[in-house]
Amino acid sequence: MVTGWLGPWITSSRVLGSGAGYRPRVNSSRDLDQTVALVTGASSGIGQAAAKALAERGATVALVARRADRLEQLGSEIADAGGTALPIEADVSDRAQATAAVARAVEELGRLDVLVNNAGVMLLGPILDAPVDEWEQMVQVNLLGLLYTAHAALPHLLKAAEGNPRRVADLVNISSVAGRMARKGSGVYNATKHGVGAFSESLRQEVTGRHLRVSLVEPGAVATELQSHNRPEVRDQIEKRFEEMDILQAEDIADAIAYVVTRPRHVAINEVLVRPTQQEQ
């Protein structure tokens, strides 16, 4: 049911599945029953796995990204497993679209208990002679997109934290090992992810007293589409760095996200750094 005009980028209303008769496939834990989660970057990789993990724990999930076909497919998979999902096509680097995506999720699903701010791009290479449009894209998605979405979601998360069923809410920002330490060849990606860390800690101090937990999840190397958007020479170098390594799967990070948002009300997991065992830096 679309009850308001939210812009031309919003696809027609399409809540997939119904919460009734839900049968979890993997987890017996239903800690997120009667809650609503919004995951940005849900069309692939970590966001897709996180959306499934939250749906398996009982959350109704709003799926946000630009590739609408992928979101529809994921929504159907969640519905087939007995969950409920709402695909929302949006470019989070556009403030109006990020704001409208959050508004639509709340309007159609009634509330917002969990935001996973996951959408991101990683375009690596030396700073000298770098294509500056790659820097702009990373700042626009990794930083501004995350800020716009958080800004729009905050009033709803704070409201959810005041009431049942959990009397606590969660905002999870996906940073990276690159948000902890800088490396040669990833300067601007480092800058965006360090920015995510700084913003998260400041916001955490601002809202944690109101039972809105702000958490930072920092993955090491994960097998996703992330590196595929790099220039070929950069992609080769990334592949070489990890070719001998048993790297993480998106589900490994989804597990961490699910853990963070299913702690008891008095427990806040502020920061989680997850590397493949063999990753040294």
Residue 152 or 168: which CB sits closer to ligand NDP?
A: 152
Applying CB under 6 A, does 153 fall inside the site for ligand NDP? no
Tokens encoding 29:
């834990």
What character string, x for contact with ligand NDP (CB under 6 A) and - otherwise, covers 74-113?
-----------------xxx--------------------
Nearer to ligand NDP, 168 or 175 (CB): 175
What whole-number distance in Å separates Cα of residue 46 and Cα of residue 85? Answer: 17
Q: Do residues 61 and 71 touch, judged by C-beta distance below 8 A? A: no
Torsion of CA 151, 72, 46, 185, to 10 degrees: -80
**Amino acid (1-letter code) at residue 246:** D
Q: Does 276 bind ligand NDP (CB under 6 A)?
A: no
Measure the CA angle with vertex 171, ends 53 and 262; round to 5°.
45
- The residue from 38, 114, 174, 254 that contacts ligand NDP (CB under 6 A) is 174
Q: Which is nearer to ligand NDP, 122 or 161 (CB)?
A: 122
| Catalytic-role residue among 22, 148, 189, 259 | 189
Build a one-symbol-per-residue string for 209-228: x at contacts with ligand NDP by CB under 6 A, - elsewhere: ----------x-xx-xxx--
| Tokens standing for residue 65 | 């990204």
Tell me if 122 contacts ligand NDP by CB under 6 A: yes
Is 189 assigned a catalytic role?
Answer: yes
Cβ atoms of 229 and 262 within 8 Å: the answer is no
Any alpha helices (H) in the chain, and if so which ranges?
45-56, 68-80, 95-109, 132-138, 146-162, 187-207, 232-242, 250-261
195 forms part of the interface with ligand NDP (CB under 6 A): no
- The catalytic site residues sit at 189
- Which positions touch ligand NDP (CB under 6 A)? 40-47, 65-67, 70, 91-93, 118-122, 141, 145, 174, 176, 219, 221-222, 224-226, 250
